[in-house]
Amino acid sequence: MSDNITTAWEKMQIIRNKNRPTALDYIPMIFDDFFEMHGDRYYGDDHALIGGIAYFRGLPVTIIAQVKGHDLAENQYRNFAMPHPEGYRKALRLARQAEKFGRPIICFIDTPGAFCGVEAEERGQGEAIARCIMEFMTIKTPILSIILGEGGSGGALALGVCDELAMLENAIYSVISPRGCASILWKDASKEEQAANLLHITADDLIKMQICDYKIEEAENGANTDPHYTAENISKFIFNSLQKNLQKRLDELLELRYNKFRRIGEFETQGL
């Protein structure tokens, strides 16, 4: 499908479809023998962010994923894919295990953002995300991240420190929700559409800015119309990317990962 005509706002309508496949839908289509692991070993188990071990075409891998629900009950259970600190601490725990056993890590990002609430603050939401970001920078095993739908701010970035970042064709990745941006900018949250098209949050935008490395094609009219087709494309990306990254020496891999983020930023020098 050619998506040259789809704006950020149109993509947002596609990814808001409640039938859009989540990581839990894709996992059985892409991996074998998935075992889910639970808990951060400090406080509890977060249902918005899941993780476990599975085979990818015969290779053991660790999967870490934010998961939305398909209906209200499931969304309440998954907290609308907004993790608490224990979610990020679970992610880090599983990443450390992946490093120990030499398994590559595959992250699926799909969140409006980290949860904003009293308990999240009490348990250190900021610290949990910060530590995840910092530690993923030096995890000694290849890390791939794939944004399935919404890549909302720091809560998404916590699973986005990786060797290669892919986005599904209709996914977005943004520092602030377009709604939040509109309400700050124009004091009018209903101007969401204008804000969405202003923020440069689509895969094409982010490939141009060298933030995203690869765009994964979805089925016509969105991934939900043919989840298997999209899963096949995700699988191809994972295969190609693992093949490439597993060949690198670990010190080289980490240096490249550091530089992937180190070079992002645009500024000027006064007087030049």
Partner 1 sequence: MKQNIFSVVRNRFNNGHDVKDKKNQNIPKDLLFKCTRCGSTVFMDEFVHNGKICPKCNYHARIGARERINITVDKGSFIEFDKDMIASNPIDFPDYSEKTKGLREKTGLNDAVVTGEAKIRNERIVIGAMDSNFMMASMGSVVGEKITRAFEFATENKLPIVLFTAAGGARMQEGTISLMQMAKTAGAVSKHSQAGQLYITVMTDPTTGGVTASFASLGDIIIAEPKVLIGFAGRRVIESTIKQRLPDDFQTAEFLYEHGFVDMIVERSKMRRTLAHLIKLHKKGNLEGVTDNE
CB closer to partner 1, 106 vs 162: 162
CB atoms within 10 A of CB 82: 22
Q: Which of 121, 188, 220, 252 forms a contact with partner 1 (CB under 8 A)?
A: 121
Nearest to 111 by CA among 155, 75, 163: 155
44 binds partner 1 (CB under 8 A): no
Q: Which is nearer to partner 1, 2 or 269 (CB)?
A: 269
* Minimum separation from the CB atom of position 261 to partner 1 (A): 4
Element (H, E) at 154: helix 153-157
| β-bridge pairing 172-174 and 214-216 | unpaired
Where in 148-177 is the site for partner 1 (CB under 8 A)? Answer: 153-154, 157-158, 160-161, 173-176
Closest CA to 110 of 163, 60, 53, 170: 170
Q: State yes or no: residue 250 binds partner 1 (CB under 8 A).
A: no
- The span from the CA of 50 to the CA of 48, in Å, is 7
Q: Which contiguous run of DSSP H or E holds residue 264?
A: none
Rule CB under 8 A: say whether 266 interacts with partner 1: yes
Our CB check for partner 1 shows the closer of 201 and 234 to be: 201
Place of tokens 């996914």: 171
Q: Note the residues at the interface with partner 1 (CB under 8 A).
A: 114, 116-118, 120-127, 129-131, 133-135, 137-138, 153-154, 157-158, 160-161, 173-176, 181, 184, 198-201, 205-206, 209, 211, 258, 261-262, 264-272
